[in-house]
């Protein structure tokens, strides 16, 4: 370029001599891998380590560990609530939140179906539901019979592969997948979470299914019983489906609404507030009328349907969003089907099945005027965002627990020091003498321990639902793709004015973050020794 600069005049103009910017000043690169005698001393490295640790401690003042509010709404895209005229909702785990005891009931019932109807060994009855074993978003390799956590780039997270209830060594996993921890695209889940050999468990109801799969695998392995993993997967899946199809879960909830339905008063407050602000409401759920009616009466009152412009039950999502062939059918006050052709959708009436294309034609509710909330990223949100341009809100109950952990002193200090230590390792790996390599080896070991610690705080087996050691999870990738906003429950809407605008934060790309450590925990301008290290990046 001009003047002999490889960067050209634009680079030179960006470097102000009056106010030098870190990384702007051009320094000669070192001629070889040895930066000098001083750097060969392990005392030099430990000095940098000690001063960085002190700096990290100073940059975490009291109170920094309670910055995140679990009742906040988090945005992936900018969205103005004042532009939203119509609010839509799923029912299960959106309007109705359920207690964890429901998962125990599902697990026990499906286990009994396996023993009684599929003639599985009665020894399975020794296994009880473990509510803290699995997390949502995991993948299951149907052919190999293993449960695993995969990141946004299709890599299996080390230490999170389970055959039965036992972790598999990383070396065995790599050998099983022909020398890699990468799962090819053609083996991964499709648009709705199902692939030729992989299934991703995205539904909150899938937690007991993952646990039962692992328990049955564990029993067969420990008792030396030969089995086809594909048959086992299908049997467990069918047993879980039977619990839902036969209405067993609905009967449990209807029999004790107080025990199973949580925070119903918050649901009423949200719906009432939206209506009072002139918003139109609709409900699209796969659940049957009688079940929804009982739950809504419990949470909102007998006149709950007066709040909604439309109520659609047994919609059969996600095909509701893609299949034009199923017409709407009207239900009478008792929930019985009517036979007349539907030419309009009337306020206060109940409808069954149907499809989104007729819904759009009959209501005219299109595009960004509509905001729909659901808990299932595939069945509830994906088609609406990608094909129809609705705004979408994901309900992620796990947020509440995860944020409570992030707000602890142990997590905040651990992850901040992990970032700082990673920055030290990256910058000081140029020291190749034997003593320095021993020091760097100790740092690598400490980094692994910190990574394991921060994972185990969320879940000892699989860690956080949102990230692997450093990458987002595959679940997070889908969450950011299919939802404009996400929150722990719809009650979070009560914390915001109906005209509020959500602004997503600009998060740095790898090439935008100076000396990467570092922007998370210290702010790069406060990092010591930057001048002597600037040539590295």
- Nearest by Cα to 354 from 387, 307, 321: 321
**Owner of token pair 């702010």:** 523
Q: What is the pLDDT of residue 270?
A: 98
Reported as a single tens digit per residue, the pLDDT across 193-203 is 666 789 999 99
- Nearest by Cα to 99 from 241, 263, 247: 263
DSSP 508: P
Separation CA 143–CA 377 (nearest Å): 25
- Alpha-helix residue ranges (DSSP H) falling in 22-100: 42-58
Q: Residues within the annotated binding site? A: 90, 92, 375
Residue 30, pLDDT above cutoff 60? no
Residue 190, pLDDT above cutoff 70? no
DSSP 79: E
Separation CA 104–CA 101 (nearest Å): 5
Confirm if 124 and 130 have CB atoms less than 8 A apart.
no
Residues with catalytic function = 90, 92
The kind and range of the H/E element at 487 are strand 485-487
Q: What is the pLDDT of residue 371?
A: 98
Residue 333, pLDDT above cutoff 60? yes
Give CA separation, 198 vs 123, 171, 275, 388, 408, in Å.
28, 21, 43, 28, 35
pLDDT class of 5 with cuts at 50, 70, 90: very low
Q: What is the pLDDT of residue 535?
A: 38
Residue 531, pLDDT above cutoff 60? no
Reported as a single tens digit per residue, the pLDDT across 334-382 is 788 888 898 999 998 899 999 999 999 999 999 899 999 999 999 999 9
Q: What is the pLDDT of residue 528?
A: 42
Reported as a single tens digit per residue, the pLDDT across 312-326 is 999 999 999 999 999
Q: What is the pLDDT of residue 64?
A: 67
Buried-exposed string 31-65: b where 16+ CB fall within 10 A, e elsewhere: eeeebeeebbebebbeebbeebeeebeeebeeeeb
- Alpha-helix residue ranges (DSSP H) falling in 33-100: 42-58
Q: Residues within the annotated binding site for GMP? A: 92
Residue 464, pLDDT above cutoff 80? yes
Q: What is the pLDDT of residue 188?
A: 78
Q: What is the pLDDT of residue 62?
A: 67
Reported as a single tens digit per residue, the pLDDT across 369-415 is 999 999 999 999 999 998 899 999 999 999 999 999 999 999 999 99
Separation CA 115–CA 124 (nearest Å): 8
Residue 66, pLDDT above cutoff 90? no
Q: What is the pLDDT of residue 523?
A: 40
Q: What is the pLDDT of residue 14?
A: 36
Q: Residues within the annotated binding site for Mg(2+)? A: 90, 375
Confirm if 367 and 390 have CB atoms less than 8 A apart.
yes
| pLDDT, the chain, mean | 87
Q: What is the pLDDT of residue 468?
A: 94
Measured in whole angstroms, how far is the alpha carbon of residue 490 from the centre of its chain?
17
Q: What is the pLDDT of residue 63?
A: 65
pLDDT class of 508 with cuts at 50, 70, 90: confident
Separation CA 375–CA 98 (nearest Å): 13
Which two tokens mark 24?
């702007």
Percent of the chain with pLDDT over 70: 86
Question: Taking the model in full, what pTM does it have?
Answer: 0.86
Mean pLDDT of the 5-24 span: 36
pLDDT class of 327 with cuts at 50, 70, 90: very high
DSSP 322: T
Q: What is the pLDDT of residue 389?
A: 92
pLDDT class of 506 with cuts at 50, 70, 90: confident
pLDDT class of 514 with cuts at 50, 70, 90: low
């Amino acid at each position: 370029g001009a003047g002999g600069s490889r960067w050209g005049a634009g680079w030179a103009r960006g470097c102000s001599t009056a106010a030098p910017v870190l990384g702007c000043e051009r320094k000669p690169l070192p001629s070889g891998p040895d930066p000098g005698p001083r750097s060969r001393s392990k005392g030099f490295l430990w000095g940098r380590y000690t001063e960085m640790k002190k700096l990290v401690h100073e940059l975490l003042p009291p109170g920094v560990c309670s910055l995140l509010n679990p009742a906040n709404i988090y945005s992936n895209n900018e969205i103005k609530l004042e532009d939203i005229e119509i609010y839509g909702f799923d029912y299960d785990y959106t309007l109705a939140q359920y207690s964890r005891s429901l998962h125990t009931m599902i697990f026990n019932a499906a286990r009994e179906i396996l023993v009684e109807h599929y003639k599985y060994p009665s020894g399975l009855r020794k296994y009880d539901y473990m509510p803290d074993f699995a997390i949502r978003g995991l993948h299951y390799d149907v052919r190999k019979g293993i449960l695993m956590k995969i990141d946004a780039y299709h890599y299996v997270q080390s230490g999170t592969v389970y055959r039965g209830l036992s972790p598999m060594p990383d070396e065995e996993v790599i050998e099983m997948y022909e020398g890699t921890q990468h799962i090819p695209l053609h083996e991964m889940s499709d648009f709705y979470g199902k692939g030729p050999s992989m299934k991703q468990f995205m539904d909150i109801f899938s937690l007991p299914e993952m646990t039962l799969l692992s328990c049955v695998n564990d029993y067969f392995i420990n008792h030396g019983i030969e089995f086809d993993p594909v048959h086992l997967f299908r049997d467990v899946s069918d047993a879980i489906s039977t619990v839902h199809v036969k209405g067993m879960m609905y009967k449990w909830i209807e029999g004790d609404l107080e025990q199973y339905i949580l925070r119903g008063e918050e649901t009423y407050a949200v719906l009432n507030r939206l209506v009072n602000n002139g918003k139109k409401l609709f409900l699209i759920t796969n659940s049957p009328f009688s079940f929804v009616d009982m739950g809504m009466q419990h949470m909102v009152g007998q006149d709950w349907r007066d709040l909604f412009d439309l109520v659609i039950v047994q919609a059969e999502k996600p095909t509701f969003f893609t299949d034009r062939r199923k017409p709407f059918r009207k239900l009478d006050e008792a929930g019985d089907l009517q036979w007349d052709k539907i030419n309009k959708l009337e306020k206060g009436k109940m409808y069954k099945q149907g499809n989104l294309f007729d819904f759009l034609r009959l209501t005219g509710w299109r595009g960004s005027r509509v905001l729909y909330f659901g808990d299932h990223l595939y069945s509830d949100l994906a088609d609406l965002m990608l094909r129809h341009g609705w705004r979408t809100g994901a309900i992620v109950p796990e947020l509440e627990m995860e944020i409570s952990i992030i707000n602890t002193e142990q997590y905040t200090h651990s992850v901040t020091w992990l970032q700082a230590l990673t920055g030290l390792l990256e910058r000081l790996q140029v020291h190749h003498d034997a003593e320095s390599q021993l020091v760097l080896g100790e740092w690598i070991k400490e980094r692994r321990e910190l990574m394991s610690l921060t994972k185990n705080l969320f879940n000892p087996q699989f860690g956080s639902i949102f990230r692997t050691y450093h990458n987002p999870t595959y679940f997070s990738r889908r969450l950011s793709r299919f939802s404009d906003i996400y929150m722990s429950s719809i009650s979070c809407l009560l914390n915001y004015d109906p005209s509020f605008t959500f602004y997503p934060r600009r998060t740095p790309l790898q090439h935008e973050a100076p000396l990467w450590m570092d922007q998370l925990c210290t702010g790069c301008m406060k990092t010591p020794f930057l001048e002597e290290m600037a040539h590295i990046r």
